[in-house]
Amino acid sequence: MPWLALKIDHSNALVSPMEVLFTTQCRLSTPPTIASSMRRKNTTSWSPPDDLQFALDPNGEKYDAVLEGEVMDDLQTELAIAPRKKKSTVSKWTGAAFQEISLRSLGLVIQLNHSSMHCDNPVPSHASFVILHTNGIHSVAVQYCGCTRAIPHHIQLLRRRLYPASQVSVKTCATFDLLRLLHKMSLSTKASTYDFYRCLEKLTTNTGIDTPKSRYRALFRMILQWRHLQMLKWAGVAHQDGGISSIQPGQLAVRCPSCPHPGINLVSGWNHVPDELKFLFTMIICMDANFRLKNQLVSNYSQDPGLGIGWAYMVPRKPYEEYVLSRASEEDISTCVGLQALAKADTKYNAGLRYTGCNITVCGRSEMILPLGVGNLQKGERYCNMDYIFGSTLQFVLVQVVLISYDIACQWFINLFKRIDEHWPNHIKPRPDMTFIPAIPKLHEPMHKAAGHEVFSLNFIRGCGFTDCECVERVWAPHNALANATKTQGPGSRQDVLDDHFGFWNWEKYISMGSTLLRRYKAAVKERNLQVEGHRGLTESLDRPLVNKWEKICAEWDMDTFPKSKQNPYQLDGTGMSFHRMDLADEEAKYLARGGTFLHATSASMFINMGLDLEETHELLPIYIPGLLQHHTDHPPPQPKSSNSEDMLLWLPSRISQPHRSRICTAGLAVIEERLRDAQLPDALENIRKILKIKSRLIQFKNKNIRGQRDGTRSRAVIDRVHDRARYSAEKYRDARAAKYALAGPGKWEEIFHVLEDSDIRGYQDPNRLRQRVGRRGVLEDDQKDRAKEVPMGDKEFTLFNEERKRRDGTGETRRTLSWIWLTTTASSAEDDKDDILRSEWARSRARAARGKEEVMLLKEEMRRVLAFLAWKADWWRQRGRIKDNIARDAAEGLRAFAQVQAALQDALAAHFRGLWRAPLEETTPRSGHIPSVQNPNVNRDGSDDDDEADDDDDDDDSGGDDYDGDDGHYEGLEVSETQHA
């Protein structure tokens, strides 16, 4: 390696002084008088040539060119051409075996600050000088240069890629390779420095004999400094005037390239766009706390102040803790649901802890941690802690609208503006022109009270797309592993380590932005097309005046600001039932209360009348189907399933095959049955829909009002009878459709009356059935074992009850689709105007379609913003590369080279992302350079629909087509040149 210089002093073997410099880049330099004595095979450049007591260990795994010599088969060949040979560590022959031995014991000396071994005034290092490297702990002898041109000792070590643990009397150094390996390993695996040092000890000796003196504390100090220096280097601190003294709070943080940054990646006029496009410039912030990243009362800030607290992600300690202390007596009152946020806000579980956890703010779209968005929790998740990091983050937000997601936003947001005015420090107060929209993450929403929480639902907030705001949980998941390592660290060291890991998380998100946005875009286009088409079908099945009325209610709700006072289109009444729609259920309940029972939907008198009609109809068979007897003789019918009367075949024209129908039946009889079947199909579907509505109301009534086993069993019996009625209607539809197919064959009528599957028979409030997860081959998951034990239902059976959805399954609201039975043209009736459930479901369907459109638009805009940000960042680094004349030449060259490398990296990322996003970006081709308005023509400009685009997940060239394909226009995309940036 370039920093290694070896000096061997064996006065008995060498007559004259010898200088040896043998590295990876250099060749052996030796006086000719002694060259012949070294021309022996299987020797090294530093070992006595005629001493048989020493030999080379043939195992090359532990050899490292930094600390040891190189094997040479022939010195003359090595001087001419330098082929790479197998490298080995030093071993001593004991007479029976090889024994490893240190280079120091052989007289190895590393001379610093000289291209050769010779120094006129060498200064010896500490007697117990140790170098930590990737292959173990090495005891070596080092000599500093004491010549007139000498430089400080620690600089001499750094130039040889040795990082000293101190600057006065250096006893421990670590190679740059070791620090780099430890740094990347800890970031990737969350392994602690202590575990890594234990591994080094085992690499050095795994016998427990001659274990080196522990240098763990020295390694811990070095890796802390290494982390800090790397963050300073990547942030370009050395390139700015003033250096470290000019660092601003949050400057070392890796910024989100997809977030809106005015003057960097936003086009001119972004703040004057129409209302329907303002959501494109909304900042989405997610906030939450973590109770695993604790910190014990170890050390203090006087002894461990930290190297850069407040320079990246952790907020400055003093102003933050002063504000929290001033609100120490504040009582956080729960008005909705406790959750863990307030449950642990005032408990005694923090004994022996300096901090009980961390709170954080994250970008809701990119999942990147925001600058100065992390704080420590002193006593649980209190409002004062969350307020401060929220206000601290807002200082980096320059747009006007901010959507803030918090799992208890329904409580925290109530008095937020009052706390801002009365308690917040001036340096974190938001700008007066800012607008805040509160939201609850989608996974946490079902745990809240249902009443009045639609205003906090991301499913109904305009402009949020498919954002679930659960990204904070995804941030905490990998960082929870840091708890064991950071809980026993000093306060300053812990915050430095957390800053470093948060920066690594952001960098990983930064460089993977291309594949992430592309994957989301493909999924969003599919989901958008599905939701838009489903909503269109539902809308067309309803009366236009009714749809217009509901559309007006939804539009007023969307335009209303928080707290909303307009009519809530998504909210159901207290009982969720109207009297005139509950008459059938009430009659059955009253009849059951009087002791009566219903064996079937058909009453006894109706059953007798139907029997008489069947008897009369049976006598008419020879008249209307005179050839039936001969047909049975020529073509024996299949035997019935049983001798029961209900299993006997009724010989209608549809039961007879087409070649024989005209010969057996009277003229026109098949046409009459087909017309009756045409009426029977929509009637059967309407009956199914009515029964599903009744059942959904009964279930709501049961869940709200019925308590106890006896009443619950009775109410369940009523619901089961309704279930039987639905099964009868479903079988009626299937029989009618089979008959229609036999009479008319395939045709356009199948586009309206589809095959009725069990999964299609569900209410419009029920989510899609869960997809069964498949585990490893030969291994069943727990839920699969339970399902395997279930008895499969018959072909005519189905369930109308919702599946049990676990926490990881979510609510299914974002990607829920309506069954086709609700999309037929016969779904509307005069009662729909008063049906609050249907109105609520239509509004929810409208919201799902709108969120799908917004998601595609947001992703296109984020792609454009990322490319603009990368171009700006590349220019930023090029400007940093213009070094002033007052900097030393060697430092200026390094700074200039590093800036050029970083600029090239930003350009390479931009080119890579642009290639991935070619298809989506083609739809936002620059035209005028201004923010577009919503227009009617589609983006494809060919008049064709694009609902089938981006169906193939494996095709990177899939296009999503236009973003608005309904009555409310089309989105053109932000029209800005790829090179236009601030």
Phi-psi category of residue 306: left, alpha or beta, with phi > 0 → left and psi -120 to 50 → alpha: left
Burial label, 200 (beta-carbon count in 10 A; 0-12, 13-18, 19+): buried
Q: What does the pLDDT read at residue 933?
A: 40
pLDDT band at 340 (very low <50, low <70, confident <90, very high): low
- Cis peptide bond prior to 563, omega within 30° of 0: yes
Q: What does the pLDDT read at residue 758?
A: 75
Residue 296 has phi, psi (to 5 degrees) of: -80, 165
The top-scoring range by mean pLDDT among 223-227, 327-331, 838-842 is 223-227
Q: Is the pLDDT of residue 866 over 50?
A: yes
3-state secondary structure of 555: helix
Q: What does the pLDDT read at residue 330?
A: 64
The predicted-structure confidence for 8-54, as pLDDT tens digits, reads as follows: 343 333 333 333 333 333 333 334 333 333 333 333 333 333 333 33
In whole angstroms, how large is the CA radius of gyration of the chain? 39
pLDDT band at 682 (very low <50, low <70, confident <90, very high): confident
Q: What does the pLDDT read at residue 367?
A: 95
The top-scoring range by mean pLDDT among 301-310, 765-774, 923-932 is 301-310
Please tell me which residue, 109 or 598, carries the higher pLDDT value.
109
Q: Is the pLDDT of residue 129 over 50?
A: yes
- DSSP conformational letter for 333: P
Q: What does the pLDDT read at residue 253?
A: 96
226-240, 473-487, 613-627, 655-669, range with the lowest pLDDT: 613-627
302-311, 340-349, 518-527, 529-538, range with the lowest pLDDT: 340-349
Q: Is the pLDDT of residue 625 over 70?
A: no
Q: Pairing between strand 401-406 and 283-290?
A: parallel
Q: Do the Cβ atoms of 117 and 6 come closer than 8 Å?
A: yes
Q: What does the pLDDT read at residue 769?
A: 54
Q: Is the pLDDT of residue 936 over 60?
A: no
853 token code pair:
């459109």
- DSSP conformational letter for 314: B
**Residue range 305-316: mean pLDDT, rounded:** 95
**Residue range 920-934: mean pLDDT, rounded:** 52
Q: C-alpha dihedral over 639, 640, 641, 642, to 10 degrees? A: -110
Helix (H) or strand (E) holding 574: none
Tell me the C-alpha distance between 200 and 571, whole Å: 63
**Residue range 259-285: mean pLDDT, rounded:** 93
Q: What does the pLDDT read at residue 608?
A: 44
Please tell me which residue, 493 or 935, carries the higher pLDDT value.
493
Closest by CA to 716, choosing from 805, 592, 809, is 592
Q: How many CB atoms lie within 10 A of CB 958?
A: 19
Tell me the C-alpha distance between 642 and 654, whole Å: 21
The model's pTM is 0.69
Q: What does the pLDDT read at residue 732?
A: 80
475 token code pair:
């941030």
Q: What does the pLDDT read at residue 448?
A: 75
Q: What does the pLDDT read at residue 612?
A: 47
Q: What does the pLDDT read at residue 593?
A: 64
Phi-psi category of residue 891: left, alpha or beta, with phi > 0 → left and psi -120 to 50 → alpha: alpha
Q: What does the pLDDT read at residue 475?
A: 96
Q: What does the pLDDT read at residue 256?
A: 96
The predicted-structure confidence for 284-297, as pLDDT tens digits, reads as follows: 999 999 999 999 99
3-state secondary structure of 783: helix
111-125, 631-645, 677-691, range with the lowest pLDDT: 631-645
Q: What does the pLDDT read at residue 590?
A: 63
Helix axis angle for 709-744 and 669-705, nearest 10°, is 160
Question: Which residues are paired to 290 by β-bridges?
Answer: 358
Tell me the C-alpha distance between 731 and 724, whole Å: 11
- DSSP conformational letter for 106: G
Q: What does the pLDDT read at residue 670?
A: 72
pLDDT band at 67 (very low <50, low <70, confident <90, very high): very low
Question: Which residues are paired to 966 by β-bridges?
Answer: 969
Give me the chain's average pLDDT, please.
Answer: 75
Q: Do the Cβ atoms of 197 and 172 come closer than 8 Å?
A: no
pLDDT band at 236 (very low <50, low <70, confident <90, very high): very high
The predicted-structure confidence for 398-430, as pLDDT tens digits, reads as follows: 999 999 999 988 889 999 999 999 999 999 999
Burial label, 760 (beta-carbon count in 10 A; 0-12, 13-18, 19+): middle
Question: 678-704: buried (b, 16+ CB within 10 Å) or exposed (e) per residue?
Answer: bebbbebbbbbbbbbbbbbbbbbbbee
The top-scoring range by mean pLDDT among 100-109, 270-279, 756-765, 772-781 is 270-279
pLDDT band at 580 (very low <50, low <70, confident <90, very high): very low
Closest by CA to 516, choosing from 879, 318, 257, is 257
pLDDT band at 2 (very low <50, low <70, confident <90, very high): very low
The predicted-structure confidence for 75-110, as pLDDT tens digits, reads as follows: 343 444 444 444 445 778 888 898 888 777 877 888
Q: Is the pLDDT of residue 730 over 90?
A: no
Please tell me which residue, 158 or 727, carries the higher pLDDT value.
158
pLDDT band at 586 (very low <50, low <70, confident <90, very high): low
Tell me the C-alpha distance between 218 and 199, whole Å: 16
- Cis peptide bond prior to 430, omega within 30° of 0: no
- Could you tell me what percent of the chain has a pLDDT over 90? 38
Q: Is the pLDDT of residue 592 over 80?
A: no
Tell me the C-alpha distance between 263 and 283, whole Å: 15
**Residue range 207-223: mean pLDDT, rounded:** 92
Tell me the C-alpha distance between 521 and 226, whole Å: 39
Q: Is the pLDDT of residue 187 over 60?
A: yes
Q: Is the pLDDT of residue 62 over 50?
A: no
**Residue range 862-875: mean pLDDT, rounded:** 96
536 token code pair:
């269109």
How distant is the alpha carbon of residue 645 from its chain centre?
60
Please tell me which residue, 422 or 681, carries the higher pLDDT value.
422
Tell me the C-alpha distance between 628 and 592, whole Å: 46
Helix axis angle for 491-511 and 471-479, nearest 10°, is 120
Burial label, 43 (beta-carbon count in 10 A; 0-12, 13-18, 19+): buried
pLDDT band at 443 (very low <50, low <70, confident <90, very high): confident
Q: Is the pLDDT of residue 585 over 90?
A: no
